[in-house]
């Protein structure tokens, strides 16, 4: 059981280049998330997918696009990378939320991260 | 809107000493609270979570946290620090997105250093 996997682990891009970060989970979770982590800022949500076939913007979506390829996979694309996108990117997944707020305590499971540098 | 504040971006303790990492929350509804730990070059791992069943929550590796509504706090403690506890710990408050999925709002993290 691999949990949440991310590729690549490291990447260096030049300004204007594009790339796709891949994420897959084998826990049969409905919901998946992309975060970025920057020093002093905490984790910030970029996009999320509550269930297969749906995606929504998070707190910092500008400059990114996502695709929920199937229930297992959720990719993040940078169309034209900028130095401000230098960060560590984490993918996460969780069980679907049940009715009411009780689903709020579903744990999110995180991948190991992708360290991206944009020059 | 929900938020969490972690006082102290760095905390240093001696091995065997008490660990106290502070987290205060702001929420208009009864909160669901989490502590995650992040070891170097790894993803976040759940330490413990508060879901209103009990105010004192025990987690992995000897950590625990107490929910205090009157103080809007959820501080993380461990009676005796070990070298292996050196890591960044992050507090988070959870709610639901309208379309489903959990909305986690994170604090800025506290880096714990354990010295001999």
Q: What is the pLDDT of residues B4-20, one digit of tens each?
A: 999 999 999 999 999 99
Q: By the CB < 8 Å criterion, does A62 face chain B?
A: no
Which of B6, B101, B14 lies closest to A48, judged by CA?
Answer: B101
Q: What are the structure tokens assigned to A114, written together?
A: 């992708």
Confidence of residue A40 (pLDDT cuts 50, 70, 90): confident
pLDDT in tens, A43-94: 999 999 988 989 999 999 999 999 998 999 999 999 999 999 999 999 999 9
pLDDT in tens, A98-119: 555 555 678 899 999 999 999 9
Contact between A42 and B107 using a beta-carbon 8 Å cutoff: yes
pLDDT, residue B27, reads: 86
Q: Can you tell me the mean pLDDT for A16-35?
A: 96
**CB-CB neighbors (< 8 A) of A23 in chain B:** none
Q: By the CB < 8 Å criterion, does A99 face chain B?
A: no
pLDDT in tens, B25-79: 998 888 889 999 999 888 899 999 998 778 999 999 999 999 999 999 999 999 9
Burial classification of residue B70, based on how many CB atoms lie within 10 Å of its CB (0-12 exposed, 13-18 middle, 19 or more buried): exposed
């Amino acid at each position: 059981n691999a949990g949440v996997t991310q590729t690549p682990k490291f990447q260096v891009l030049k300004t204007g280049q594009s790339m796709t970060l891949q994420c897959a989970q084998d826990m049969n979770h409905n919901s998946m998330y992309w975060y970025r982590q920057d020093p002093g800022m905490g984790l910030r949500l970029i996009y999320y997918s509550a269930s297969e076939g749906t995606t929504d913007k998070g707190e910092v979506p500008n400059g990114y696009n996502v695709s929920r390829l199937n229930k297992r996979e959720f990719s993040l694309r940078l169309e034209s990378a900028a130095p401000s996108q230098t960060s560590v990117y984490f993918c996460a997944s969780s069980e679907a939320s049940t009715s009411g707020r009780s689903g709020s305590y579903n744990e999110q499971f995180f991948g190991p991260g992708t360290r991206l540098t944009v020059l | 809107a929900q938020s969490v504040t972690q006082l102290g971006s760095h905390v240093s303790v001696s091995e065997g000493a008490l660990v106290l990492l502070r987290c205060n929350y702001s929420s208009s509804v009864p909160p669901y609270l989490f502590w995650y730990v992040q070891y170097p070059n790894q993803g976040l791992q759940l330490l413990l979570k508060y879901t209103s069943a009990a105010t004192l929550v025990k987690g992995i590796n000897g950590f625990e946290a107490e929910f205090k509504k009157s103080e809007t706090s959820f501080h993380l403690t461990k009676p005796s620090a070990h070298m292996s506890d050196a890591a960044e710990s992050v507090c988070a408050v959870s709610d639901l997105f309208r379309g489903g999925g959990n909305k986690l709002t994170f604090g800025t993290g506290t880096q714990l250093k354990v010295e001999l």
